[in-house]
Amino acid sequence: MGAAYFYHLTRKPLEVTLPMLLDKAREAGWRVAVRGREAARMDWLDEKLWLGAEDGFLPHGRAGQPHETEQPILLTTESAMPNAAACLMTVDGAEVAPEEVQALERVCVLFDGNDEAAVQVAREQWKLLTGAGCQAQYWSEASGRWEKMAEA
């Protein structure tokens, strides 16, 4: 049974934090699905990942494109994960079900701590998942480095 890790972004933007987490997931040997809510936002993330981090490129693809089943990182707006992901990362308030947390190695919920609506959605997701018996951790970068602030 996996766990949900909530990442409260307040200092570094999504396009910096997501590649860091994707690197860690890949180091663990996991295929990853990154789920968002809007295709245009996933296009934007796709572009950011193609540009790559300072220290390297993150191999990835888009759902619905050729070779989606072979992608180590798959960007999607759907619940299906045709790349057989072991890790799901959600952005922009994309939904995650308790059954997904229990079936996967890890679920990461990234949310913009400077957006009150995003914070509220993350709180609701925390309540839903922990209320269903899922293990969860809340991580904050408010101090300048990532620290675990809560666990359920």
Residue 44's pLDDT is 93
Question: Model-level pTM?
Answer: 0.94
Type of residue numbered 128: L
Mark the ranges of the chain whose per-residue pLDDT is less than 70.
Answer: 52-56
For residue 128, the domain's CATH number is: 3.40.50.10110
Type of residue numbered 63: A
Residue 56's pLDDT is 64
The encoded tokens of residue 90 equal: 């959600």
Inter-residue contact 139 to 147 (CB < 8 Å): yes
Domain total of the chain? 1
Residue 52's pLDDT is 61
Dist. CA 75–CA 61, nearest whole Å: 6
CA 36 to chain centre: 9
Q: Could you tell me the residue range of the domain that residue 25 belongs to?
A: 3-151
Dist. CA 63–CA 60, nearest whole Å: 10
Convert the pLDDT of each residue in 69-112 to its tens digit.
999 999 999 999 999 999 999 999 999 999 999 999 999 999 99
DSSP output for 69-132: GG-SEEEESSS--TT--SEEEE-TT----HHHHHHSSEEEEEEETT-HHHHHHHHHHHHHHHHT
The encoded tokens of residue 130 equal: 């922990």
